[in-house]
């Protein structure tokens, strides 16, 4: 072939490639929810709910200092029983139709018996909140446990994470019970007391009880970490989170020859440990953009520039570039692979004494594609030093639960309810979750784990869960209650 011929072939191939990429971008599947607005019945219901009254209830709930770390201290958990009593007196109709069991004294397991024995559904929430740092109290516009209602928000620790969901769920049950409604299948409310410290005494114990009873959920719904619907004023987009990561911390212990530092001896524990940590920090676990993470990225770019859509629509050829871009974004690596960071280091007590041992803790957040045993083998191989002991630190280690399939029937029904209550959503993002929550405890007894919060975040608004000035927009509450009502009514 002549040079001209080669050049022509390259040109045709180049433009052919561009045409294919443009074609793929145009054909990118949309995850939009097309809903017709307004659904009159829904709108009537929303306007019949007094959002200020729900806000007052949420504010009252915030005033109970149900700090999770306090439950581990003797005689420090009075706020939990007081909160239980408040729920009972504030929601009498809900308590009349539901059975309630206290689990490990502080958690609440409710069952609302349905008309038939079809698969139950579960609403997960938690009664506990994270502590407020003493130094930050002055930075709060309203004191963290005052339960202030001001400027369109309910302020305080727990107003978002997650007494908001707890109160909205209760309001929904209260109203349905008051109307004489009975669900078709059993409905469970699963309110743990120690979600913020791992959830094993609360959700873990409740899951064990339900397992013994042979209960298996069609789906369970949990918090998403603070508001799932976003709006710029004219349009809305939202995320339903379908996975979460596992958790394990490895303790690395290096042993050396102790003695006086005037006579340096080898091996040196601190040097051995440092070498191991450097090897880990210079390595990444295997990974890549695939599965739910890829679906999430594809949905997210629907509101982004054409170039970004072009890149993501053509990962068959652009994958390394897309992965490189994601890797360089804050938190981006987390959707690609199991990530790790050293969090604690110890060794040596005196400047002239060689320590016999040095230890470090390295925390891993396990991607759903991996398991803890695989991570342990990777750590051993990467450190490549038999003198370093590697063990799982403490009991708090758990596998990532399997991700829920974004095309599962539970997700489809859930989308219908979102559309009915919130109108068109573009896009609805199938989310890859970074943080763990109580939902993982129910993974063995639920067909689908869903994480979503019916709270609308306006552009520039900050809800600040776990942070200073945590606050929930009041205008989310009435519609949020209707959302939960609708889920209960449409459980099959």
Nearer to Zn ion, 162 or 244 (CB): 162
- Residue span binding Zn ion (CB under 5 A) among the ranges 19-27, 162-170, 246-254, 370-378: 162-170
Nearer to Zn ion, 171 or 222 (CB): 222
Structure tokens at 414: 């859930």
Peptide bond before 133: cis, by omega within 30 degrees of 0? Answer: no
User: What own/partner pairs with CB < 8 Å and gap ≥ 24 does 46-54 have?
Assistant: 46/478, 46/479, 46/482, 47/478, 49/171, 49/175, 49/477, 49/478, 49/481, 49/482, 50/478, 51/474, 51/475, 51/477, 51/478, 52/149, 52/474, 54/167, 54/168, 54/171, 54/474, 54/477, 54/478, 54/481
Alpha carbons 264 and 37: distance in angstroms, whole number: 77
Using CA atoms, how far residue 35 sits from 151, 418, 453, in Å, is 31, 9, 19
Nearer to Zn ion, 114 or 199 (CB): 199
Nearer to Zn ion, 6 or 462 (CB): 462
Residue 164 found at the interface with Zn ion (CB under 5 A): no
Residue 124 beta carbon to Zn ion: minimum distance, rounded to whole angstroms: 10
Nearer to Zn ion, 260 or 396 (CB): 396
Nearer to Zn ion, 91 or 191 (CB): 191
Region of 100 (left: φ > 0; alpha: ψ -120 to 50; beta: rest) is beta
Residue 286 beta carbon to Zn ion: minimum distance, rounded to whole angstroms: 31
Residue 206 beta carbon to Zn ion: minimum distance, rounded to whole angstroms: 16
Nearer to Zn ion, 45 or 193 (CB): 193
Residue 469 beta carbon to Zn ion: minimum distance, rounded to whole angstroms: 17
Q: Which residue has the tokens 């299948």?
A: 185
Count CB neighbours of 27 within 10 A: 8
Q: Which residue has the tokens 């060794």?
A: 347
- Per CB under 5 A, the list member of 162, 302, 476, 485 interacting with Zn ion is 162
- Residue span binding Zn ion (CB under 5 A) among the ranges 104-112, 137-145, 157-165, 214-222: 157-165
Residue 361 beta carbon to Zn ion: minimum distance, rounded to whole angstroms: 24
Contact, 204 vs 124, CB < 8 A? no
Q: Going residue by residue from 373 to 412, which x/- string records binding to Zn ion, judged by CB under 5 A?
A: ----------------------------------------
Structure tokens at 313: 């629509």
- Polymer length in residues for the chain: 492
- Residue span binding Zn ion (CB under 5 A) among the ranges 89-97, 153-161, 232-240, 346-354: 153-161
- Per CB under 5 A, the list member of 59, 103, 161, 298 interacting with Zn ion is 161
Q: What angle do CA 420, 154, 187 make, to 5 degrees?
A: 45
Residue 212 beta carbon to Zn ion: minimum distance, rounded to whole angstroms: 26
Residue 261 beta carbon to Zn ion: minimum distance, rounded to whole angstroms: 48
- Residue span binding Zn ion (CB under 5 A) among the ranges 43-51, 131-139, 158-166, 400-408: 158-166
Residue 428 beta carbon to Zn ion: minimum distance, rounded to whole angstroms: 22
Residue 188 beta carbon to Zn ion: minimum distance, rounded to whole angstroms: 18
Nearer to Zn ion, 162 or 239 (CB): 162
Nearer to Zn ion, 130 or 269 (CB): 130
Contact, 443 vs 246, CB < 8 A? no
Q: Exposed, middle or buried: residue 487 (CB in 10 Å: 0-12, 13-18, 19+)? A: buried
Alpha carbons 63 and 61: distance in angstroms, whole number: 5
Nearer to Zn ion, 378 or 452 (CB): 452
Specify the 3-state DSSP secondary structure of 433. coil
Contact, 144 vs 137, CB < 8 A? yes
- Residue span binding Zn ion (CB under 5 A) among the ranges 154-162, 236-244, 306-314, 370-378: 154-162
Residue 10 beta carbon to Zn ion: minimum distance, rounded to whole angstroms: 56
Q: What angle do CA 174, 483, 463 make, to 5 degrees?
A: 100
Nearer to Zn ion, 161 or 295 (CB): 161
Instruction: Give the torsion sign (CA, 53, 54, 59, 61).
Output: positive
- Residue span binding Zn ion (CB under 5 A) among the ranges 160-168, 269-277, 302-310, 376-384: 160-168
Residue 194 beta carbon to Zn ion: minimum distance, rounded to whole angstroms: 11
Number of residues that bind Zn ion (CB under 5 A): 2
Count CB neighbours of 485 within 10 A: 24
- Residue span binding Zn ion (CB under 5 A) among the ranges 79-87, 161-169, 235-243, 286-294: 161-169
- Residue span binding Zn ion (CB under 5 A) among the ranges 156-164, 358-366, 398-406, 478-486: 156-164
Residue 190 beta carbon to Zn ion: minimum distance, rounded to whole angstroms: 13
In eight-state DSSP terms, residue 119 is P
Positions touching Zn ion (CB under 5 A) are: 161-162
């Amino acid at each position: 072939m002549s040079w001209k011929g080669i050049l022509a072939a390259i040109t045709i191939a180049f433009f052919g490639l561009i045409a294919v990429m443009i074609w793929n971008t145009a054909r990118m599947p949309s995850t939009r929810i097309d809903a017709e607005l307004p659904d009159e019945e829904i709108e009537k219901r929303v306007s019949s709910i007094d959002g200020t009254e729900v806000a007052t209830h949420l504010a009252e709930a915030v005033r109970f200092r149900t700090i999770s770390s306090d439950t581990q201290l003797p005689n420090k958990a009075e706020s939990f029983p007081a909160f239980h009593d408040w729920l009972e007196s504030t929601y009498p109709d809900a308590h009349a139709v539901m059975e309630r069991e206290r689990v490990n004294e502080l958690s609440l397991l409710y069952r609302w018996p349905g008309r038939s024995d079809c698969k139950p559904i579960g609403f997960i929430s938690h009664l506990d909140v994270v502590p407020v740092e003493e130094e930050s109290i002055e930075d709060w516009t309203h004191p963290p446990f005052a339960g202030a209602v001001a400027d369109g928000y309910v302020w305080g620790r727990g107003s978002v994470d997650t007494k908001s969901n707890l109160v909205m769920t209760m309001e929904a049950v209260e109203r349905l019970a008051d109307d004489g409604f009975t669900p078709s299948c059993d409905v469970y409310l699963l309110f743990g007391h120690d979600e913020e410290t791992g959830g094993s005494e609360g959700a873990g114990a409740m899951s064990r009880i339900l397992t013994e009873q042979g209960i298996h959920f069609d789906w369970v719904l949990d918090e998403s970490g603070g508001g799932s619907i976003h709006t710029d004023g004219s349009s809305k987009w939202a995320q339903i989170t379908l996975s979460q990561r596992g958790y394990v911390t490895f303790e690395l212990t290096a042993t050396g020859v102790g003695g006086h530092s005037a006579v340096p001896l080898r091996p040196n524990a601190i040097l051995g440990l440092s070498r191991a940590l450097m090897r880990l920090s210079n390595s990444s676990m295997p990974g890549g953009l695939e599965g739910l993470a890829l679906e999430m990225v594809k949905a997210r770019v629907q509101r982004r520039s054409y170039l970004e859509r072009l890149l993501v629509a053509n990962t068959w050829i652009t994958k390394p570039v897309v992965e490189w871009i994601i890797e360089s974004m804050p938190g981006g690596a987390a959707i690609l692979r199991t990530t790790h960071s050293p969090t604690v280091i110890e060794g040596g007590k005196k400047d002239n004494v060689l320590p016999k041992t040095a230890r470090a803790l390295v925390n891993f957040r396990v991607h759903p594609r991996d398991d803890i045993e695989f991570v342990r083998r990777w750590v051993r191989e990467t450190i490549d030093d038999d003198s370093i002991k590697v063990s799982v630190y403490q009991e708090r280690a758990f596998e990532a639960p399997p991700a829920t399939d974004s095309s599962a029937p539970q997700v489809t029904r859930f989308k219908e309810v979102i559309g009915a209550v919130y109108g068109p959503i573009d896009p609805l993002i199938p989310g890859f979750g970074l943080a763990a929550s109580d939902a993982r405890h129910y993974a063995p007894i639920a067909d689908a784990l869903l994480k979503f919060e019916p709270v609308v975040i306006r552009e520039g608004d900050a809800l600040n869960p776990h942070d200073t000035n945590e606050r929930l927009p009041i205008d989310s509450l009435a519609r949020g209650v209707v959302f939960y009502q609708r889920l209960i009514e449409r459980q099959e």
